[in-house]
Every structure is written in structure tokens, then in C-alpha cells.
């Protein structure tokens, strides 16, 4: 158990650093091809933060650990709002000033509801293809929006400051290749260690995916959001979470069903989906604001979100210990 637990922790840390190098290399390659910095920030850098979840879910599905994949998707969304966004707002209250963020919030809410309703009869290939097509449509919308410069000036500037420094062609490709290799190896180790920990601890792979794996793969979002808010880039901190949650549902949650139709793990419909939908609804309400005022998450609201997250984790822990004692 100790060896597997240490392997899981080490591989999650390696996953974080590999993702950073991969995104740096990919963004630099794109800049060397003279692509718009705004477009790179919206697509490559934005999507890059969800690369750990995508690879872990894909490898887990390929290895037959379907529950780790779907648990990682939902658990990451829960952690992004209840932990990452809450901790960020505790550092400094978050303002939702950008119009694009307010347009993305309804999209995230709608996608979350769609994923919930299609899960009642399991996750089939048709469902997964629908989500993948929706991902393509979302990408097209982002690209068209970037080309039309429909972003607020402040948000555009924040996105551009997020871009890594331009590297030489050789160094960019080296970072890209090394990061990709690191991602593949560390993702495989995460799935292997997580499945072993679940087996040795006598808990379901879903629980491991919802907790340890989801928390570990949310590290890039935590680092990016706190770094952004310390630089007074509130829109970037919030946009990081909204974009990541959209990618988690369209790209990560859909992967297991592409391999084969899957039944939704027991407990997910009654426990995990409602929690994710509830936190997403709270984010939607807080982000839209009231009486034409800009949305805001202040510190006491952030504290409530954090309490809700740890309450959810405690409920999972209690359910596991109850089953273990039966």
C-alpha cells in the first residue's frame, strides 16, 4: 500500500510538471507559426490545463478502469469549484467583469445538465460522440470569437500575459516531445497506482478517481488560478476554471464511452452528479451577478464553497468506512 500510494503521489506531481512543459512547448510552436496570441491562449493554453485529466481518463478506459476515468472528470469539476476557486477567492475576492465569461457560464451549466441526463441509461458511444462533437463546436466558437476580437480588452491582455515566453524552434519541440512523453508515462502510472490503491484499500475505483486522482489532476488549475489572482487577473483566474470544467465534461467524461458503452458507476447519479450540478449552479448564480451588477465571489461565499467541498469529501469517507465495517 505504501509503495502504491507514494507512486500515485509522485506520478501526479510528474503529471503536473509534464503538462507545464507540454503546454509551454505547444504554445511556443504555435507562436513560431505566427498564430494569434489570443487564439493560443484560448485554445492551446486553455485546453492544456485539462490534458492531465484527458490522458488519465483515456488510459484508464483503455486499461478497463472505467470508473477512474469518469470519477476523475466529475471529481475534477467538483474540486475546481469547491476547492480551487474557493481557495483563490479566499486569497482575494473574485470579480466576473468579462462578458465572455458570462457567456461561457450558461454553456457550462447546459453541458453539465446534458451530461447528467444522458447518464441515466449509461454512457454509450452515441452519447460520447455527441459530447465530442460539442467540443469541436465549442472550439470553433472560441476561434471565431478570438478572430472577431469579441473579448473585453482586460481579458484579452490577461490571456496574453498567460502565454509562456517564446522558445527557439528546437527548444520548443524538445519541451513538446519531453512533456508529451512525461504525460503518457505519468498518466499510465497514475492509473496503475490508483487501481492498486483502490484494490488494496477495498474501495471502488470510482472513489479513488473522485478523490485522490481528481485532486491531483486539478493541480494545474490551482496553480494557474492563484497565480492569476495574485497578479490581479481575476477574469483569467475564473476563466481558467470555467474552461477547464467545460473541457472535463466534453473531452474527459466522454472518453470512456468511446471505447465501449458503459453503465454509470453505482452512487454517481445520487451523490456525485448532484454535487457537481449544485456547485456549478452556485457558480452560475454568483458569476452572473444581480441587478446588472458584475458577479463576484467574496470571501464568505468562498468559505461556504470550501466547507461544501470538504463536507462532500467527508461524506465519501463515511460511506467508504461504513461499507468496510459491514
Q: How far is CA 218 from CA 80, 117, 136, 186, 245, in A?
A: 7, 25, 23, 15, 10
Give the model's pLDDT for residue 325: 45
Give the model's pLDDT for residue 199: 76
64-91 confidence digits (pLDDT tens): 778 888 888 899 999 999 999 999 999 8
Give the model's pLDDT for residue 324: 45
Give the model's pLDDT for residue 288: 75
Residues of the chain predicted below pLDDT 50: 323-326
Give the model's pLDDT for residue 273: 93
- Distance (Å, whole) CA 149 – CA 249: 26
Domains in the chain, CATH or no CATH each: 41-147+192-325 (1.20.1420.30)
Give the model's pLDDT for residue 326: 46
Give the residue from 289, 295, 262 showing the smallest Cα distance to 124.
262
Q: 123 - beta bridge partners? A: 262
Amino acid at each position: 500500500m505504501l509503495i502504491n500510494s507514494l507512486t500515485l503521489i509522485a506520478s501526479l506531481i510528474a503529471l503536473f510538471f509534464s503538462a507545464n512543459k507540454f503546454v509551454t512547448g505547444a504554445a511556443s510552436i504555435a507562436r513560431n507559426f505566427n498564430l494569434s496570441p489570443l487564439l493560443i491562449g484560448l485554445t492551446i493554453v486553455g485546453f492544456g490545463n485539462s490534458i492531465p485529466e484527458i490522458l488519465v481518463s483515456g488510459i484508464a478506459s483503455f486499461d478497463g478502469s472505467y470508473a477512474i476515468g469518469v470519477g476523475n472528470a466529475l471529481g475534477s469539476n467538483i474540486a475546481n469549484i469547491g476547492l480551487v476557486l474557493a481557495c483563490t477567492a479566499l486569497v482575494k475576492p473574485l470579480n466576473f467583469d468579462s462578458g465572455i465569461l458570462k457567456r461561457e457560464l450558461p454553456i457550462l451549466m447546459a453541458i453539465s445538465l446534458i451530461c447528467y441526463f444522458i447518464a441515466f441509461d449509461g454512457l454509450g458511444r452515441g452519447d460520447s460522440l455527441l459530447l465530442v462533437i460539442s467540443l469541436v463546436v465549442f472550439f470553433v466558437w472560441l476561434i471565431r470569437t478570438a478572430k472577431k476580437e469579441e473579448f473585453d480588452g482586460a481579458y484579452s491582455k490577461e490571456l496574453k500575459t498567460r502565454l509562456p515566453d517564446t522558445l527557439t524552434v528546437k527548444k520548443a519541440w524538445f519541451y513538446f516531445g519531453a512533456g508529451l512523453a512525461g504525460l503518457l508515462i505519468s498518466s499510465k502510472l497514475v492509473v496503475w497506482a490508483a487501481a492498486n490503491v483502490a484494490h488494496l484499500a477495498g474501495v471502488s475505483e470510482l472513489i479513488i478517481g473522485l478523490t485522490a486522482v481528481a485532486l491531483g489532476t486539478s493541480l494545474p488549475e490551482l496553480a494557474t488560478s492563484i497565480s492569476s489572482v495574485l497578479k490581479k487577473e481575476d477574469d483569467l483566474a475564473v476563466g481558467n476554471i470555467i474552461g477547464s470544467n467545460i473541457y472535463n465534461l466534453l473531452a474527459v467524461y466522454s472518453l470512456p464511452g468511446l471505447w465501449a458503452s458503459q453503465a454509470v458507476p453505482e452512487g454517481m447519479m445520487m451523490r456525485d452528479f448532484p454535487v457537481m450540478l449544485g456547485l456549478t449552479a452556485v457558480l452560475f448564480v454568483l458569476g452572473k451577478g444581480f441587478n446588472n451588477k458584475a458577479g463576484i465571489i467574496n470571501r464568505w461565499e468562498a468559505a461556504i464553497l470550501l466547507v461544501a467541498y470538504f463536507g462532500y469529501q467527508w461524506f465519501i469517507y463515511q460511506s467508504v468506512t461504513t461499507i468496510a465495517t459491514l
